[in-house]
Amino acid sequence: MVKWGVPREGDGIVVDPAAEAPQLVLANFASALAVDLSEHVVLQKWATQAPREIWLLRPGDLLVTPVRPSEAFLAAACGLLGMAPADITVITVPDLPGVAMAESVRRAGLLPVLARWARERPGARLLPVALDAPTARLARDLGIGMAPYPDAAPPTARTLAAVMDLNTKSGFRTAARDLGIRVPPGETCAATDLPNVVRRSLAVHGGVAVKPDRAAGGHGVRFLTGPEPAPEPEPAPEPGVAQATVAGAQAADRWVVERLIPHRCSLSAQFSVAGPAATRWEFDGTMAVRDGAFTGYRSPLAAPVAAEELREWGARFGRHLAAHGYRGPFGLDALLAEDGSTLYATEANVRRTATTTPYALVRRLADAADGGDAAWRTGQAPGGPDASFEQAHTLLTAAGLAYRPAAGEGVVLYADVSPGVPVRYLVVAATTDRAAELEGLARRLLGPRPLDE
């Protein structure tokens, strides 16, 4: 659970807002870390969540986002954080096909604007969703540090290459085996070999998970059992698509085929690397998954044995990242097998994940509340053709479900709402049972068929 009270000194994910330097938050969902940059349609879909990064802002901060938040969302978020919309700056830079967001910022001619903002705020830091090479260049060109790196030690080319590699399935599997972290049996193959590898693996395991080597959010993942036809590889990206590193370009042609693990639940834990010997566990929980895609989260994790092993794995992997010069958050995903005791790590996300910002919001709400522990969970309900933040927020408020600071519990729409986009919510309460109760009420109110069931 999250402990109400003052944030811990030195936390890498969320810290005392009053003590932090000004931040330029870059909502760079368009990054070669998660998927190939040629997957523009997928990246556009993910970018609809970019306004949620507003929860990281404090008065004087700046958010650069590919999608502008609605006025209703902006007002509600700032109100809950105890500031006015005029206290922050939001700049919208639509993503360009085939390039990272930092490059879109450059091509939009915004470097002089951002450089002036930084000069007027000594000590300002760039806080990205994903640490990639274009973002590191952007920080260098603006003359500002990269949070949470010390000014004198920005991420090096070696660090950026390691981050690119460890965000692939194969890169993580190699590191995991070296570190004694259990992963499902499987192999990596070239796209041209995929059909044969799948047929051979099905014969051995009976069921397999077929994953693009660089993918996130369940994109491109298939689960096969029995003598089904092996999938044909997707067409290779067009020549000339910009890649942040060679590793990113290579990953587009690679696949991972793993034994399908019958499991009780999908787990995830978040950590932060603050130094060579300072990897901190931040939180853990159970993931809600639909067709291989993340749809929600339940924290804290109710399986103590699994939580202990996952934390140990996180400590090992964090030391590995630190040895490559990485500083910042990362998540480990895993499956708890049907025996209730065997854990299999499936991937690492060396970046801010779908739970990092909601947790930052939970911590900020905790800082403003009085005593006790908190359970929290995220989920989503279907967004109709006329959905809007104002409409959904009004429903929650009228039903008495919207988060109430005095009570320290309730529901927050942590992402903006637009037609056809799932309505994403965060529930905070003193106990797991109360959080489940509030979530049930919210789901019935927001939609008849939540997507995470």
Decide if 141 is inside a domain: yes
pLDDT in the model for residue 18 = 35
Which CATH number characterizes residue 251's domain?
A: 3.30.1490.20
Cα–Cα distances (Å) from 381 to 117, 384, 397, 411, 445, in that order, read: 38, 9, 17, 13, 9
pLDDT for 313 beyond 90: yes
Decide if 2 is inside a domain: no
User: Model confidence at 233, in pLDDT bands (50, 70, 90)?
Assistant: low
CA-based R_g, the chain, Å: 21
Decide if 266 is inside a domain: no
Over residues 345-357, the mean pLDDT reads 96
pLDDT tens figures, 419-434: 888 999 999 999 999 9
- Whether residues 32 and 156 share a domain: the answer is yes
User: Model confidence at 94, in pLDDT bands (50, 70, 90)?
Assistant: very high
- Whether residues 213 and 108 share a domain: the answer is no
pLDDT in the model for residue 291 = 78
Number of structural domains in the chain:
3
pLDDT in the model for residue 154 = 78
- Whether residues 38 and 143 share a domain: the answer is yes
pLDDT in the model for residue 373 = 72
- Whether residues 101 and 228 share a domain: the answer is no
Over residues 7-25, the mean pLDDT reads 54
Over residues 279-288, the mean pLDDT reads 96
User: Model confidence at 314, in pLDDT bands (50, 70, 90)?
Assistant: very high
pLDDT in the model for residue 277 = 82
3-state secondary structure of 147: coil
Over residues 405-411, the mean pLDDT reads 94
Domain boundaries, position 27: 11-163
Tokens 């070696």, residue located: 158
| Nearest in space to 290 (alpha carbons), one of 382, 194, 213 | 382
pLDDT in the model for residue 366 = 86
pLDDT tens figures, 369-406: 765 578 999 999 988 888 899 999 999 999 999 999 99
pLDDT for 228 beyond 70: no
- Whether residues 144 and 195 share a domain: the answer is no
User: Model confidence at 71, in pLDDT bands (50, 70, 90)?
Assistant: very high
Question: Residue 45 class from Cβ within 10 Å (0-12 exposed, 13-18 middle, 19+ buried)?
Answer: middle
- Whether residues 130 and 256 share a domain: the answer is no
**Per-chain mean pLDDT for the chain:** 88
- Whether residues 387 and 433 share a domain: the answer is yes
Decide if 307 is inside a domain: no
Distance from C-alpha of 341 to C-alpha of 360, rounded to nearest angstrom: 30
Over residues 212-222, the mean pLDDT reads 88
Decide if 376 is inside a domain: yes
Decide if 329 is inside a domain: no
Over residues 255-269, the mean pLDDT reads 96
pLDDT in the model for residue 420 = 84
pLDDT for 2 beyond 80: no
- Are 214 and 350 in contact by the 8 Å Cβ rule? The answer is no
Q: Which residue has the higher pLDDT, 253 or 437?
A: 437
- Whether residues 154 and 255 share a domain: the answer is no
Distance from C-alpha of 59 to C-alpha of 138, rounded to nearest angstrom: 23
Q: From the DSSP assignment, how many helices (H) and strands (E) are in the chain?
A: 13, 18
pLDDT tens figures, 320-347: 999 999 999 999 999 999 999 999 999 9
pLDDT in the model for residue 370 = 65
Which CATH number characterizes residue 402's domain?
A: 3.90.1170
pLDDT tens figures, 123-154: 999 999 999 999 999 999 999 999 999 876 67
- Whether residues 432 and 382 share a domain: the answer is yes
Close Cβ partners of 434 (under 8 Å, ≥ 6 residues apart) = 375, 409
User: Model confidence at 448, in pLDDT bands (50, 70, 90)?
Assistant: low
Among 260, 288, 309, residue at a domain's last position: 260
pLDDT in the model for residue 5 = 30
Residue type, 211: K
Whole-number percent of the chain with pLDDT over 90: 74
Among 227, 260, 293, residue at a domain's last position: 260
pLDDT for 368 beyond 80: no
- Whether residues 376 and 436 share a domain: the answer is yes
Over residues 265-271, the mean pLDDT reads 96
Among 199, 231, 260, residue at a domain's last position: 260
- Whether residues 135 and 241 share a domain: the answer is no
Decide if 356 is inside a domain: no
Close Cβ partners of 93 (under 8 Å, ≥ 6 residues apart) = 64, 65, 66, 101, 104, 105, 108, 110
- Whether residues 244 and 152 share a domain: the answer is no
Decide if 221 is inside a domain: yes
pLDDT in the model for residue 384 = 80
Close Cβ partners of 255 (under 8 Å, ≥ 6 residues apart) = 188, 189, 190, 191, 194, 197, 210, 211, 212, 213, 233
CA angle 353, 359, 363 (to 5 degrees): 150
Question: Residue 247 class from Cβ within 10 Å (0-12 exposed, 13-18 middle, 19+ buried)?
Answer: buried
